[in-house]
Amino acid sequence: MDAILEHSKEQKMEPVIVTESLTKVYKAPLEPSVTALQDLNLEVYPGEVFALVGPNGSGKTTTLKLLLGLIFPTRGTARVFGENPRSVEVKRRIGFMPDGPYFYGHLTGNELLDFYADILQIPRSQKKQRIEELIELVGMKGRSHLQVRTYSKGMIQRIGLAQALLNDPELVLLDEPTAGLDPIGTRDVKDIILKMRQQGKTVFLCSHLLSDVERIADRVAVLHQGRLIRSGTMEELLVVKGRFEVQASRLSAEALEALGRMGEVLEVADSRIHLLLEEGEALQKALAFIEAKGGHLDYLAPQRRTLEEVFIEAVREAVGEEVIE
Amino acid sequence: MATATQVQAESKRGTLLLHSWRAIWAITRGTFKDTWRQRIILVLLVFGMAVLPASLIFSWLSAGEEIKFVIDTGLGTILLFGLLMGIFMAASMIPLEIEHRTIFTILSKPVRRFEFVLGKFLGIALTLLVNILLMGVVFLVIYGVKQVMLNAPPFQNFVTLIQALFLLYLQVMLITTIALTVSTVASLWFNIIFSFFVYFVGNMSEVIHHISTHTQVNALRLLMGIFNAIVPHFENFDLRQKLLLGDPVPWGYVAQVVGYTAQYVVVMFLIAYLLFNEREF
């Protein structure tokens, strides 16, 4: 995961997406203007899965629409493959799945993909095969002959993903790709995203389903009320610097008690202990103690938080700053 | 001799042009198929085709003016149902794409906005052509039957009839283009009312011209002058009088109306493009 990022940065690869002070203010007559996005600075590199997370109304979809040229910046710039997102050349290289995609209900899944394939100028000789491959990939085999209006939300999501991949895009933009999917559907979509990453594609996704994002994203940016409040690689965001999680077993009650005094105990059961230790002397001392007492070191890793914890912390800090301001 | 860069640029331009037409054609076909699945269009077509034969039956009520009745009712029916279809399709197409958010997936594909609008326009134009052709064939059959029943040659004034149907189609296309242009910024019902208002005013162009040149009220003169200048003169498209008198219509006149329609459609389409190009979704 990190290797991709390191590689991309070391090679000084051109970013696929660059936004500079990207700002969008919605103005309506006789109504107060709404700042949906404020001074967003982002760089997304080739081959990474980049997630934009945030609560509803935080500016995720606005960012996506700006990157697709569906709306225009009030201030700042957005570039995709170094060009204006409205460029047709850019759109040839991207695929997009909107949130809760709506399609022509009277078309069947096959007809729908056929229509988009025509817009994408996919040669007739390749079109049928490409559609069949994608129907298979998104798990819609045997159901693609039905009209879209009869589809469940999950099926619409799957066919939406298929249309986004028709042109084998270098960059895939997904708005809430796992929303409304059952656990199997969610797993399938995550597998497809990971497969895209293996193929070297760049994936830019927006989601508020943090556990889903945590498993697939290389880098994350947190938006809150239109402002970027945190960003970084998963490692940077989730790993707590200087703290390790240790689990040891086959220890006596006295040893467990002594070990517990060295750090912050998370759980003790039978002869096993799970605790947090500060990096450095405390950790070395504890490891030596476990060995000396004939215990077994089950697990040793830097302490990790969940993305949800990071997200809530970031939002609280942002809200706190606003209150102070 | 052209340099490699020039050749590449030419080739790219050629590819872009080709791409344009392929994208437009894909949207045109999609729109055409879509309209045939809309029940309202089929209902209008069925009603239109059902009303046409009725003119044959009811023509007995206008003794001595039976052929006038068939022509008036026939062309009037085709025009009315053509207008209903055209205005409804044009007024609903883009707002529904926006409301249903289907426009997101289309405009995120390599489609320019003018290609989208043009594709929609051509799809509607094609649908109207087929509908008016179908109703036109039924009308011609009824006209022929009536002529035979009146012991007249069945294909009398046939060329003028074809010309009348052609100008009727142009008339419907013109108002449809106005509705499509308005649909890029306005809601469905405002657009329907506005389009019928324009059609109504456009059919009174002679009256409006008369008022604008004879009234003493400056504000009224200005208003009528504006109407006279910008609202299409739909009376120019109506050949019913010529048909009844049996007067041939010179092809030069038809060409003039075609040119007038083309100018109007191009201007309206450019306005639609400018409005749609800057619209946010």
DSSP annotation string for B87-148: HHHHHHHHHHHHHTTHHHHHHTSS--HHHHHHHHHHHHHHHHHHHHHHHHHHHHHHHHHHHH
In a domain, A310, yes or no: no
**Environment class of residue B111 by beta-carbon count within 10 Å: exposed (0-12), middle (13-18) or buried (19+)?**
buried
**CA–CA distance, A238 with B39 (Å, rounded to integer):** 55
CB contact (8 A) between residue A96 and residue B27: no
**CA–CA distance, B45 with B40 (Å, rounded to integer):** 9
**ipTM value of the model?**
0.80
Residue B2's pLDDT is what? 42
Residue A3's pLDDT is what? 42
A225 and A248, same structural domain? no
Q: Answer whether residue B86 shows pLDDT above 90.
A: yes
Global pTM?
0.81
A294 and A149, same structural domain? no
Mean pLDDT of chain A, nearest integer: 88
Q: Which of A101-105, A212-216, B9-13 has the lowest mean pLDDT?
A: B9-13
In a domain, A322, yes or no: no
In a domain, A50, yes or no: yes
In a domain, A16, yes or no: yes
Q: What is the CATH number of the domain that holds A268?
A: 3.30.70.1150
CB contact (8 A) between residue B105 and residue A101: yes
Residue A4's pLDDT is what? 41
A156 and A276, same structural domain? no
Q: Closest residue of B to A73, CA-based?
A: B280
Residue B278's pLDDT is what? 87
A215 and A71, same structural domain? yes
Residue A30's pLDDT is what? 80
User: Chain B contact for A71, CB < 8 A?
Assistant: yes
Boundary residue ending a domain (A189, A213, A237): A237
A243 and A171, same structural domain? no
Q: Closest residue of A to B116, CA-based?
A: A119
Structure tokens at A28: 């309506």
**CA–CA distance, B80 with B49 (Å, rounded to integer):** 12
Q: In percent, how much of chain B has pLDDT > 70?
A: 92
In a domain, A31, yes or no: yes
Q: Closest residue of B to A165, CA-based?
A: B109
**C-beta separation of A17 from A204 below 8 A:** yes
Q: Closest residue of A to B33, CA-based?
A: A107
Q: Answer whether residue B3 shows pLDDT above 50.
A: no
In a domain, A321, yes or no: no
A274 and A185, same structural domain? no
Q: Answer whether residue B65 shows pLDDT above 90.
A: no
CB contact (8 A) between residue B108 and residue A94: yes
Condensed to tens digits (0 to 9), the pLDDT of residues A107-166 reads: 889 999 998 998 888 888 899 999 999 999 888 888 889 988 888 888 888 899 999 999
Between the alpha carbon of residue A241 and those of residues A148, A220, A277, A284, A311, the distances in Å are 49, 18, 11, 16, 17
Residue B7's pLDDT is what? 41
Number of domains in chain A: 2
CB contact (8 A) between residue B19 and residue A72: no
Boundary residue ending a domain (A181, A203, A237): A237
**CA–CA distance, B270 with B28 (Å, rounded to integer):** 18
Boundary residue ending a domain (A237, A263, A279): A237
Give the pLDDT band of residue A1 (cuts 50, 70, 90).
Answer: very low
**C-beta separation of A255 from A291 below 8 A:** no
Q: Closest residue of B to A90, CA-based?
A: B110
Phi then psi for residue A304, to 5 deg, are: -120, 140
Q: Answer whether residue B9 shows pLDDT above 70.
A: no
Domain that holds residue A169: 2-237
A41 and A52, same structural domain? yes
In a domain, A184, yes or no: yes
A226 and A258, same structural domain? no
CB contact (8 A) between residue B19 and residue A88: yes
Q: Answer whether residue B263 shows pLDDT above 60.
A: yes
CB contact (8 A) between residue B105 and residue A96: yes
CB contact (8 A) between residue A119 and residue B37: no
User: Chain A contact for B110, CB < 8 A?
Assistant: yes
Give the pLDDT band of residue B214 (cuts 50, 70, 90).
Answer: confident
| Closest alpha carbon to B211 in B224, B195, B192 | B224
Q: Answer whether residue A322 shows pLDDT above 80.
A: no
Residue A236's pLDDT is what? 86
Give the mean pLDDT of B107-120.
91
**CA–CA distance, B102 with B110 (Å, rounded to integer):** 15
User: Chain A contact for B277, CB < 8 A?
Assistant: no
- Picking from B13, B18, B41, B105 by the largest number of A CB atoms within 10 A of its own CB, the best residue to mutate is B105
Residues in chain B with CB shorter than 8 Å from the CB of A97 are: 105
A274 and A171, same structural domain? no
Q: Answer whether residue A254 shows pLDDT above 60.
A: yes
Q: Which of A27-36, A86-95, A222-231 has the lowest mean pLDDT?
A: A27-36
Residue B8's pLDDT is what? 45
Q: What is the CATH number of the domain that holds A114?
A: 3.40.50.300
Q: Answer whether residue A25 shows pLDDT above 90.
A: yes
**CA–CA distance, A37 with A226 (Å, rounded to integer):** 4
A188 and A291, same structural domain? no
Residue A208's pLDDT is what? 82
Give the mean pLDDT of B87-94.
90
A175 and A265, same structural domain? no
A255 and A196, same structural domain? no
CB contact (8 A) between residue B105 and residue A94: no
Q: Which of A61-70, A128-137, B235-244 has the lowest mean pLDDT?
A: B235-244
In a domain, A140, yes or no: yes
Q: Answer whether residue B174 shows pLDDT above 90.
A: yes
Residue B127's pLDDT is what? 95
Mean pLDDT of chain B, nearest integer: 85
Phi then psi for residue A120, to 5 deg, are: -85, 0
Between the alpha carbon of residue A7 and those of residues A11, A44, A48, B45, the distances in Å are 6, 13, 11, 63
